[in-house]
Structure 1
Amino acid sequence: MGSVTLGIHLGHHCSCAIVIDGELKSAIQLERVSREKHAGKATLTHEVPIENVLNDCALSINDVSNIIISVQQLAVGGDGLHFPLFDDSFDFFDIADKRVRIISHHLAHAVYSYGCSGFDNSSVLVSDLAGSTTPDGLDFDLSYEEFKALPTSKYIEPKTESISLYRITFSGIDLLEREYTIPHPSPSTFIYSPASLYDNVSRFIFGREDCHGQLMALSGLKESGYNNDLISINDMIDINDGKPIFKNNWSRRFNLESPRNDLLTLAKITQEAFVESMMCYVRKIRHISKSNNFCASGGTFLNISLNSKILESRKFKKCYFPSSPHDAGISIGCAFYGDKIWEKPLKKPIKHDIFSPTPNFSIDESDLTFLLKNNGCYSDEKIALLLSEGAVIARFYGNAEFGPRALGARSIIATPTDLEIKNKLNRIKQRQMWRPVAPIVLKESLKDYFDGPEDSPFMNLIHKVKPEYHSLLPALCHQDNTSRCQTLNVDNDIRLYNTLNLLPSFDHPPIILNTSLNGPGQPTILYKQDAIKFFLVNHEIDFIIINDEFYSRNETIENIDLNTVIFNKEVVFTIKGNNYFALLNNKKLKIDEETFNLRGKIIRKEQFSKKSLFMDLLFNEFLIKND
């Protein structure tokens, strides 16, 4: 076996990755395993999904050549008290092992995007809210012993990276320029960078974290009543000698009582100011890097309007926007760093994101028989027909996407020809009805229906539906007629490709709607049992594909009458042996037993000896509403 590198990111969006001889083999976010969206770990614990990626590659920790870690909170004077680098119980490897190196945040970001790009040289722009904190503001690559030996007894003035400009070539990694965060007692109000502008406004409008995508969608709404006299881009930023200068006096014009149209105006101007400020750094890096190639990394580049603006500027011959520019991608950057990817760059860019391993979870056949009706093997033609007829289908196929956007492996798919279908998908996801739903389109058909970049495998660029297809594809168009296309070719997912390719035979364009397979506030589903649960409690989804099998709900489940009420009965249901299904945890049962066409028997709750896979989920939590 050749060189094996384990990459670990500790921080929010905690993740792990494996690179073998320069090839990315496996990567997974903690959130997919823990089922907690944006899950993070500040220190090494057994919850960090190290074993998931090792098992996926049939490796043990002893097979690993390099262990490269990036730790968000790690800084001089930051190891100890509340945040030791590793939990006392962590024994998967010794942190003092010579294989272990700790690298800085932006350095890992940069190597991630470059490593995936297939470029032999490139400029790399990294932008996020905050990265590593160091005494000198520079990158680092240290062993744990070297880190511990750093002087901490003297006074230090730490610097926290915010924007970094790199050039990466065969010769190595050059940091060309860097900007830093500005400490402030009101960080949720004070603006000092593009990321802080976008983060603070999104928190203000939506009242919580991680609403950047919603702000981007809101900025594209076309409604009358924009208050153009309220604020302009010049109120937010000045451009001085090519550098954006952020202003802070405009925020007093907005408060929690601001009317809707004022917030729409704020969203629109924020997006414009954000893009214009970032373009200053794009122009800067083109000038100082002298490279015709461009790579982007950092959470800032989840903004598809920004990515498209960079591409449209034509300042570079080639641009690469990775699937996971946010912090989850750092583990892949760590793994590429340990493999010194710049010395042997990939010959082709990575254009798929199916890297997250899915363990084979065994489900009792009697459980499946009770809950699901097996409609036989997955037929591409049958799926195409059902989609053309308006069916909504959950798709659980093979390993999962690593990044934040569903690309077909963990997706809910439907036709774009019916606007009500888009509304149905937003109801399933419990999202605002103005939120757009993105399409998957055959790469070779993209130019027939859309204007925009020819290649967009990660759904991170803007396309516009051609005017003559607005009426045919009403569910695709955001109010500004934009769409976030995923282009699909036969190498990405042959089964999904075949389905789209068959759609025209049913008088349907080779395009489908696609949203991630998860509920509100949840990460994308990784495991089969969670996909089945999600399908069963969302009756607006008609069918589910599980790898090569195709299911609908069993008639027993489909015919439940949720309006029938029977009081003072405590019952549970078993279908076979000790596999029980709980109907209720209290004494109010809202359904007649006969409705179930019971094949098992009614027993008392205290007789339980084994829990079924679905016992805690179905009837007492979701399907039956208690008084």
Structure 2
Amino acid sequence: MGDGHYISAYCHVDALDHHYGIALRHDHNISLWRKNGGDVELIQVWELERFSGEKHHLRAFRDNTHFWTFVADRLRPLGLDTTDIVGVWGTPGINSVSASGGDYWRRFEEFPQHSLAHLFSALMLDKSIFDTETIVALAMDGGPDSVEDEASQRKPYYVGALVKNGKMSLFPVASTAPLWALMRQRYGLKEGSLMALAGACKAVLPLAVDDPPLIIRRRDFEKADRWFKGVTRQVEDTLSSTSGSEIRGDPLFTRKENEAAVIARLIQQKTISQTKQILAKIIDENDVTPQNTYLAMSGGLALNCPLNTALMKQFEFKGFLAPPCVNDSGLSLGLGLMRFFADEPDFRFRLSSPYLGSNGTDNLSDVIKDPTFSLHIEDISHPELETILSDLLDGPIVWFQGQAEIGPRALGHRSLLADPRDITSRDRLNRIKQRQWWRPVAPLVLDEFSKDWFEESFPSPYMLHAFQVKADKAALVPAICHLDGTARVQTLTMETNPELHEILNAFHRATGVPMLCNTSLNDRSEPILNSISAALDFALSKELSVIYADGMRIQLGAFQHHDKTATNKRARRHFKPMEEPLSAGDVHRLNPLGFSREELVLMRQIPKLRHVDHTAPGTAPRLQRLLSKLRHSFGKQPDFQFIDMYHDLQGSNTLEEALGNRQAEPVCCEADNG
């Protein structure tokens, strides 16, 4: 592999899938790399949702040209163009400027490419640790996609690794992530919200529940589904009982919230105990000393802060390795590192900063000339430190700084910041973001003071750990305390973010508190905002008086004259939709038999069916017969988008054989819980 710029892309390219909105991957992302000898540098990561405005961006690129046009727009501000790209990998259908080397992951092909990419994103976060230390790694999410690895559904879904001085062994592990996906489907809350609800709601329910089945392969999902349904029935029946002094609901929450909280708490307990057992087995069987070993976590389940912290405390690992983008938004990172390792095992790499997103999609000098905003701008100035402190004391401020953080959590470059000493800061932030009243906000704390405020704390630079707030400190920072007394902490060092570190130090000197409330700069159902115009629009819509953008302080007013339209309208104003619908002629050419969207989803989701000639007249009735069987098994599903269909069609050479020989298994969870 020669020197130069490379791209690893976790995307999908298909004209019909683009036109009909058929999603085979979600959280699409692209990483730009520079290789110089043995040194590899990650230049930027482009999460497509930050540009399209589509949360978890699901839509495929229409074609090769569509992909490269997007990439060219991202390269231009860096002084690069597509001719500077030496190679690209990770997404079938993209013509590389040079050979793409698609076999880089097949040396580990007993595991899905998707899960391997998760694994490598954490394992090689600091390549020197990989080369010289011992690491135990777990990559656990809802399940793999099959865009490039069509055999993924026949493999163990989740992968663990043991590394000793650069020598790596891989093995299958179990994951409880599908149980969380079932919770999301049932209650309509994301996993993080469910975990927060479990900590906030004080419902008490005495339950004797067996351990869930180990979920390792596709066939285990049916058992998991049965276990989950049994638990939900048991909880429903128990809550319906009016007898028993041990049964107590929380009057602050609805019946449905009490039910969800009890089940989420139970699944959390099972998640922690099962993962502890997995790690204990790895440690015992491989003569591992945890105190001399790093724990690496990746996949959507690694967003579970209480789990990560419980594992670190139980085993007292030497350190914790995980990228800020542990969910699918980090798969291009993992695909890139896996390819460099395959081609040049001794390469050097270290992820030194989470701020590797783009600089934004506009610039301040242009935005302030826009009549949409100029009417509301009362003052623009270079702020003094005292002014920033005064603004923080007065109320939440919008903070937009430099390159965006990568991953799903705001880490101080696209944030709302507030004073943690006032409980109304939390309440106001939740109202601004249209969130449930019980949702916590995270503390952004000076790393050097973390141990003074949180029990048994350790570095948590990417907000992936939850610590108990010390009893003598909790009353001083009520806005960051969850109802169970914990906080999801981000620790900050001078090296990582000198500007915010200086502000936190000044706030500490003024108040005695070395932290601020920090939550992401976005509204409900909206990706983190990535343009100054969108940030200004957000501030005006929420009547926030002060926004800091790229080092400047902007004082806002005349809120009554701002069009406080819905979030989806803001998305249309400040994001660039990535839809390029096909013409009627192109649709007919690609889909001459007129398959419905649902039928096309079926053909895409089952790898065996992708190679059926869907232009042959005899295909339509056969496919429709299969779809009828699937509907019967699934129940009434309004849409198959974003759902893996776990069907074993191995051995069937034709659609007719598939119809005659196989029965559909029930859908149990979405493709990933990232």
TM-score (norm 2): 0.68
Map of 2:265 onto structure 1: 268
Offset at residue 453 of structure 1 (A): 2.7
Map of 1:67 onto structure 2: 88
Offset at residue 27 of structure 1 (A): 0.3
CA 582–311 in structure 1, closer or farther in 2 if over 3 Å, else same: closer
Q: Which deviates more from structure 2 when the two are superposed, residues 249-258 or residues 193-202?
A: 249-258
Q: In the alignment, is the contact (CA less than 8 A) between 2:146 and 2:152 conserved in 1?
A: no
Q: In the alignment, is the contact (CA less than 8 A) between 1:393 and 1:543 conserved in 2?
A: yes
Q: Deviations over 1:388-438 (max 9, x none)?
A: x33210001111111100011000000011111110000000000000000
Q: Distance in 1 between matches of 2:7 and 2:59?
A: 17
1:227 to 205, 223, 229: 205
Offset at residue 217 of structure 1 (A): 0.5
CA 558–364 in structure 1, closer or farther in 2 if over 3 Å, else same: closer
Q: Distance in 2 between matches of 1:349 and 1:325?
A: 13
- Identify, as 1 or 2, the structure richer in helix: 2
Map of 2:357 onto structure 1: 355
- Is 1:30 matched up with 2:48? yes
Map of 1:9 onto structure 2: 10
CA 263–111 in structure 1, closer or farther in 2 if over 3 Å, else same: closer
Q: In the alignment, is the contact (CA less than 8 A) between 2:144 and 2:152 conserved in 1?
A: no
- Is 1:218 matched up with 2:200? no
Q: Which deviates more from structure 2 when the two are superposed, residues 363-372 or residues 95-104?
A: 95-104
Q: Deviations over 1:157-209 (max 9, x none)?
A: 95154211124567665433356xxxxxxxxxxxxx5011111123222x26x
- Identify, as 1 or 2, the structure richer in strand: 1
Q: Distance in 2 between matches of 1:413 and 1:16?
A: 29
Q: Distance in 1 between matches of 2:493 and 2:140?
A: 30
Map of 1:327 onto structure 2: 328
Specify the code of the residue in structure 2 equivalent to 1:251.
Answer: T
Map of 2:482 onto structure 1: 478
Q: Deviations over 1:126-164 (max 9, x none)?
A: 111111559xxxx97xxxxxx9xxxxxxxx995154211
Map of 2:315 onto structure 1: 314
1:127 to 109, 129, 140: 140
Map of 1:201 onto structure 2: 183
Q: Distance in 1 between matches of 2:526 and 2:572?
A: 20
- Is 1:377 matched up with 2:382? yes
- Is 1:177 matched up with 2:172? yes
Q: Distance in 1 between matches of 2:263 and 2:571?
A: 45
Offset at residue 338 of structure 1 (A): 2.8
CA 173–63 in structure 1, closer or farther in 2 if over 3 Å, else same: farther
The Cα RMSD (Å) is 3.4
Q: Distance in 2 between matches of 1:286 and 1:355?
A: 36
Q: In the alignment, is the contact (CA less than 8 A) between 2:201 and 2:258 conserved in 1?
A: no
- Is 1:543 matched up with 2:519? no
Map of 1:18 onto structure 2: 32
CA 5–12 in structure 1, closer or farther in 2 if over 3 Å, else same: same
Q: In the alignment, is the contact (CA less than 8 A) between 1:375 and 1:549 conserved in 2?
A: yes
Gaps spanning 5+ residues in structure 2: where?
12-24, 106-112, 241-254, 575-674
- Is 1:114 matched up with 2:123? yes
- Is 1:251 matched up with 2:232? yes
Q: How does 1:385-464 map to 2 (within 5 A)?
A: 385-387=390-392, 389-464=393-468
Map of 2:526 onto structure 1: 522
* 1:340 alignment partner, SS class: helix
Q: Distance in 2 between matches of 1:157 and 1:117?
A: 28
Q: In the alignment, is the contact (CA less than 8 A) between 2:309 and 2:466 conserved in 1?
A: yes
Q: In the alignment, is the contact (CA less than 8 A) between 2:124 and 2:349 conserved in 1?
A: no
CA 351–221 in structure 1, closer or farther in 2 if over 3 Å, else same: same
Q: Distance in 1 between matches of 2:286 and 2:304?
A: 23
CA 397–496 in structure 1, closer or farther in 2 if over 3 Å, else same: same
Q: Distance in 1 between matches of 2:153 and 2:370?
A: 60
CA 552–107 in structure 1, closer or farther in 2 if over 3 Å, else same: same
- Is 1:51 matched up with 2:55? no
Q: In the alignment, is the contact (CA less than 8 A) between 1:356 and 1:399 conserved in 2?
A: yes
Q: Deviations over 1:63-113 (max 9, x none)?
A: 22331205xxxxxxxxxxxxxx54xxxxxx526952252641112111111
CA 214–52 in structure 1, closer or farther in 2 if over 3 Å, else same: farther
CA 271–363 in structure 1, closer or farther in 2 if over 3 Å, else same: same
Map of 1:343 onto structure 2: 345
Q: Distance in 2 between matches of 1:550 and 1:395?
A: 10
- Is 1:39 matched up with 2:20? no
Q: Distance in 2 between matches of 1:265 and 1:113?
A: 32
Specify the code of the residue in structure 2 equivalent to 1:29.
Answer: E
Specify the code of the residue in structure 1 equivalent to 2:403.
Answer: N
* 1:280 alignment partner, SS class: helix
Q: Distance in 1 between matches of 2:572 and 2:201?
A: 46
Specify the code of the residue in structure 1 equivalent to 2:352.
Answer: I
Aligned length: 506
Q: How high is the sequence identity, in percent, across the aligned residues?
A: 25
CA 316–441 in structure 1, closer or farther in 2 if over 3 Å, else same: closer
Offset at residue 582 of structure 1 (A): 8.3
Offset at residue 548 of structure 1 (A): 1.4
Map of 1:565 onto structure 2: none
Specify the code of the residue in structure 2 equivalent to 1:39.
Answer: H
Q: Distance in 2 between matches of 1:214 and 1:41?
A: 25
Specify the code of the residue in structure 2 equivalent to 1:217.
Answer: A
Offset at residue 330 of structure 1 (A): 0.5
Q: Deviations over 1:424-467 (max 9, x none)?
A: 00000000000000010111111222223321110110112111
2:506 to 495, 502, 508: 502
* 1:313 alignment partner, SS class: helix
Q: Which deviates more from structure 2 when the two are superposed, residues 254-263 or residues 21-30?
A: 254-263
Q: In the alignment, is the contact (CA less than 8 A) between 2:378 and 2:555 conserved in 1?
A: yes
Specify the code of the residue in structure 2 equivalent to 1:227.
Answer: L
Gaps spanning 5+ residues in structure 1: where?
71-84, 87-92, 141-146, 148-155, 180-192, 561-580, 585-612, 618-627
* 1:383 alignment partner, SS class: helix
CA 409–56 in structure 1, closer or farther in 2 if over 3 Å, else same: same
Map of 1:595 onto structure 2: none
Q: In the alignment, is the contact (CA less than 8 A) between 1:133 and 1:161 conserved in 2?
A: no
Q: Distance in 1 between matches of 2:507 and 2:423?
A: 18
Specify the code of the residue in structure 1 equivalent to 2:171.
Answer: L
Offset at residue 237 of structure 1 (A): 5.7
Q: Distance in 2 between matches of 1:386 and 1:332?
A: 37
Q: Deviations over 1:306-355 (max 9, x none)?
A: 11111112263232122111111010112222322873465755353443
Specify the code of the residue in structure 2 equivalent to 1:383.
Answer: I
* 2:9 alignment partner, SS class: strand
CA 467–273 in structure 1, closer or farther in 2 if over 3 Å, else same: same
* 1:162 alignment partner, SS class: coil
Q: Which deviates more from structure 2 when the two are superposed, residues 418-427 or residues 13-22?
A: 13-22
Specify the code of the residue in structure 1 equivalent to 2:231.
Answer: W
Q: Distance in 2 between matches of 1:213 and 1:461?
A: 13
Q: Distance in 1 between matches of 2:504 and 2:564?
A: 40
Offset at residue 295 of structure 1 (A): 1.3
Specify the code of the residue in structure 2 equivalent to 1:411.
Answer: S
Q: Distance in 2 between matches of 1:227 and 1:129?
A: 28
Offset at residue 473 of structure 1 (A): 0.8
Q: In the alignment, is the contact (CA less than 8 A) between 2:398 and 2:547 conserved in 1?
A: yes
Q: In the alignment, is the contact (CA less than 8 A) between 2:61 and 2:67 conserved in 1?
A: no
* 1:6 alignment partner, SS class: strand
Q: Distance in 2 between matches of 1:347 and 1:531?
A: 33
Specify the code of the residue in structure 2 equivalent to 1:234.
Answer: D
